[in-house]
Amino acid sequence: MAAPLSGTTYYRKRTRLVGSLGVTRRKSAALLRIVLIVMASIAIFLLLLFAQPSRPAVTGGVTQNLLDTSWTFRNRSDNRKLTPITGKAVVPGDIYADLQALKAIGEPLYADNDVRLRWVARENWTYSTEFDVNERILKVAMTIWHKPSQLIVFKGLDTIAQVLLNGQEILSTNNQFVQYTADVTGKLKKAGNTLEIHFESPISYGDRAAREYKNEYGYSIPPDCTIEMFHGECHANYVRKIQAQFSWDWGPAFPTVGIFDAITLHGNDGLHLERVHVDTTFNDDDTVSIRVHADVRSTMPGNVHWDVSIPEMNKLYNARTVLNSGKGLHTMSAQFMLNKKQFELWWPNGMGAQRMYEMRVRLTREDKKAFVEKTVRFGLREVELIQDYIDETNKTIGREFYFKINGQPVFLKGTNWIPVSPFPARNNSERMEFLLESSRIAGMNAMRVWGGGRYENDEFYAMADRKGILLWHDMMFACSLYPTDPAFLESVSTEIEQNVKRLKNHPSVLVWAGNNENELGIAGGWWGAMGYDEKQRIADYRILYKGLIGKIVTEIDPTRPYLLSSPSNGVETDRVGGVSDNPGSERYGDIHFYNEVKNLWKDSSYQTPRCATEYGLQSIPSGMTMSKYLPQSEYYYLSGNFTHRQHHPGGVETLITMIFAHFPLPPFCSGVRSNNSYSVAAHEAKQCFAKNPPSLYSLIFLAESGFLDRFAYFTQFHQALTYKTETEHYLRFRGRLTDDGLGHTMCALYWQLNDVWAAPTWSSIDWDLRWKPAHYEARRFFAPQMVIVYLDDNAMLEAFAINDRPETASMTVLPMILYLNVRKLIDQRIRRLKNGPVQVFAFNNAFEPIYKVEKKMDLPPYSSTPVDVSSLNKWKSSKNDLSLESLVFTGELLNLTQQRVGYQSTVVPDRLWKVDMKRTGDVTVQSFKKVNDLEYKVVIEATAVAPLVWIEVQVDNLQAYFDDNAFTMTSRTRELTLTLTKKYDRDLTADDLYACALKSCYV
């Protein structure tokens, strides 16, 4: 009442001042007082009507977690043969987990359950709960200044859903990658609210969407279905969910449904802060522009005051934004500047620290009756993608393709990430942490988030930030063409906008790519579809990836490059309109390389690109993993259940062919070989082959359970040595060109890091989180300093020294000095390599090298430098009695105190089947000691030079790795460290270890 009284007093005073003007003025003043009194009374009435005395003057809103309630699930089947199913649901989760908990199904990943359980994904399912509303949400009252709102935010619905609140539809969804918000103002009760989510089968939805699209446009969008040996489902490209859940060549089909992320109820005073996202632009004047964006839902227009603080920098910034429109989602922005001296940069793994900062944003209405706030983490680093011509005078040579971080060129060393699990809604935090930490430990600084998976949860990106793993990030489109009708484009538009805004704060995100291999598919003519010609395919491709996705990404996130596809020719693809004739050119952009015909242990088998973002080879998981998912009666290579898991076309045959081109057959088949082929005499056929004439596919032992573990060992080392050969090929072409202008290679990302089940795949870590030999090999070939040794096609040794360390002032005064094999001096001021031999060992010469050469060299920073080994080759050529099958070549770096730096590089014979196994060594565990709950020391002993040593801890559910493994042992003893990532339920003993070498592993 103070304001009306103050106003009345004011006019009384004024009346006295003008009283001499007469009665008329006094009557007018009296009338005015009456009007003011009436208005004051109305104001008081309104205040009493809408005021809420218990409500605080300022509120940030109230949030209620709706996953804390009790949820149930049930099926809604038209199939009368199917018994109705209902049970208690665990959320977040998925239908397979709930059915398994109910004991309605068994382990989905066992045997061929991916097919036997196909009915699950073809059912419609309903998840429901009942909840009471937090009183504080209901007490957020309406005033003449504010229009409160109640919102339900669904962070993860998978996928096609109708949502009902108290029997009334509030939302329908069709995109797993979109966060949905429903305004439920006025629709809530104090108690007994029901929330039902009706999920439609993604299989049924995809089938219906494909039919409707064809009816509307006269053609189908290819591919209609996966190939038969994938055992998958059709029309994944019409459904915006994880594409690999319809099956892939490395995984099964489990098209999940369910609630995979939070559902929250929000009550607020008409101001709801949905997200905060930050742009950091590095300027030429040693400043950084920080542009902060806030996505706000508001019920009323008005002025909004910003308070932005960065506590670790002792910075506080204020701004004001005018919110011109009312109801809906609005993006507001504010900008401020930082000097580079005020902060530390974020660096990739191996280049510096991963410094992160916390930013707190508070938005307050001008009347200070409502505020919202949110805290985000961000890092400061600059990304550049260099695509200059190699030679401006001869542009046909091609363009560079490499990234700079904070002005420093970075060689991307890493792998590819597929979804952490076929059931990503489950708690996979521990699995995710192990996989990313395993990448960091292996010296990786990059990882490609593959486009057939998902935009991962926030935890994944926070881990990548902490570990310095740069993320080449595909959008979630892979190996297909996609619709471009208005409804599909609208859904994709929301998907891209939300996810780019959500992820752009993370310094680990390096580059966006529109899709995986879709341009390659168009250029290569992968798919046929009646009435859908190439011209229309290219036009639709441009609409989706350039006109829509590209535009959204570059507008929302101007701080990172965007590529239309992977692989692509980069700016050359843009120059020709979006689809190149040869998207896999070695002269531009990135390539994907696969070949199973050539000898993959030969350096000359590989292309020499600017950047390789996919390359790989299959291997079989160890018996400790594989045996848990196959019936014992089918634990052999050619069993129905094993070959069911081989989704790679021709994979059963090509693995056999590739493996036995290098590895020995069982001893009873020793007389079968003739040079590099297989031939048998009549009396030998019965021993080795199931039928005559013999073939690799009819080898008897491949149908015996006793041989599968040894064959898996062969495939794993075959994969490891292939990854070593190809990756080292790319590493040594850093800063170097062939005569025809190929090279300047600056990235090597092998396919793939992880698995989603136990099967033949390209992974370096299997489904049970066991490192394969390939991951140990990656730890060696991704070391920051190393020597590469290999034999060329003429059996001449070649060697290169790799230095991936940054330049320092001391390096220019006292440069690195290298001897071949290579010793290294490191003190406080300089980095030098000295007295390093390349050594040649003979299997029958104990552990003494039969030849050693040393070379002193300067190693520039960030370089690949050839090493002169001509004397070794001259010596080798003079020894006509030496067979390559009797030699092992090594290279290593040693410091001035004769200590090795990094790892030994080794070349074993290409045709191991020609090696006299009797002369090779075997290994045993000499001692095994516990240091603490997370560390053990192991000493192994060899009888002679032992190729392909493998040490396995034969216990289940152990997350651990050795500091080195899967190597050729060239010394009599060696001490290793076993590190556990979490405490095991008992102490390990020497009996838990299995140690072997080529002659003895799983024999």
d(CA 343, CA 436): 27
CA 661 to chain centre: 34
DSSP conformation letters of 811-838: HHHS-EE--TT-EEEE-SS-EEE-S-EE
Interacting residues of 194 by C-beta distance below 8 A, sequence separation 6+: 128, 129, 130, 164, 165, 166, 167
Nearest CA to 960 out of 980, 938, 945, 988 is that of: 980
Q: What is the CA radius of gyration of the chain?
A: 33
Record the tokens describing residue 481, joined without a space.
Answer: 């063409």
d(CA 620, CA 719): 10
- Give all strands (DSSP E) within 122-192, no chain letters: 125-131, 149-154, 157-158, 161-165, 168-173, 180-183
At 507 the three-state DSSP class reads coil
Cα torsion angle, 580, 586, 592, 593, sign: positive
Report whether 472 contacts 510 (CB < 8 A): yes
Q: What are the backbone dihedrals phi and psi of residue 317, each rounded to the nearest 5 degrees, phi first?
A: -125, 145
At 175 the three-state DSSP class reads strand
Triad 239, 124, 484: Cα angle to 5°: 15
878-884: long-range contacts (C-beta < 8 A, 24 or more apart)?
A: 882/842, 883/914, 884/791, 884/795, 884/909, 884/910
Q: What are the backbone dihedrals phi and psi of residue 150, each rounded to the nearest 5 degrees, phi first?
A: -120, 125
- How crowded is residue 914: how many other Cβ atoms within 10 Å of its Cβ? 16
Report whether 151 contacts 144 (CB < 8 A): no
Q: What are the backbone dihedrals phi and psi of residue 95, each rounded to the nearest 5 degrees, phi first?
A: -65, -30
Annotated catalytic, 798? no
Bridge-partner residues for 336, per DSSP?
290
Residues 733-758 as b/e (b if ≥16 CB within 10 A, e otherwise) read bbbbbeeebbbbbbbbbbbbbbbbbb
Nearest CA to 688 out of 676, 674, 670 is that of: 670
Q: SS3 letters for 276-321? A: EEEEEEECCCCEEEEEEEEEEEECCCEEEEEEEEEHHHCEEEEEEE
Q: What are the backbone dihedrals phi and psi of residue 765, each rounded to the nearest 5 degrees, phi first?
A: -130, 130
Report whether 251 contacts 349 (CB < 8 A): no
Look at strands 161-165 and 246-248 and give their pairing: unpaired
Q: What are the backbone dihedrals phi and psi of residue 19, each rounded to the nearest 5 degrees, phi first?
A: -60, -30
The crossing angle, in degrees rounded to 10, of helices 429-441 and 458-467 is: 20
Active-site position among 200, 517, 777, 952: 517
- Greatest alpha-carbon pair distance for the chain in Å reads 138
Report whether 362 contacts 371 (CB < 8 A): yes
Nearest CA to 421 out of 244, 584, 259, 565 is that of: 244
d(CA 890, CA 887): 10
Record the tokens describing residue 854, joined without a space.
Answer: 């040393």
d(CA 816, CA 153): 58
Report whether 773 contacts 713 (CB < 8 A): no
Interacting residues of 513 by C-beta distance below 8 A, sequence separation 6+: 451, 472, 473, 474, 475, 562, 563, 564, 565, 566, 568
Record the tokens describing residue 804, joined without a space.
Answer: 């991936």
Catalytic residues: 517
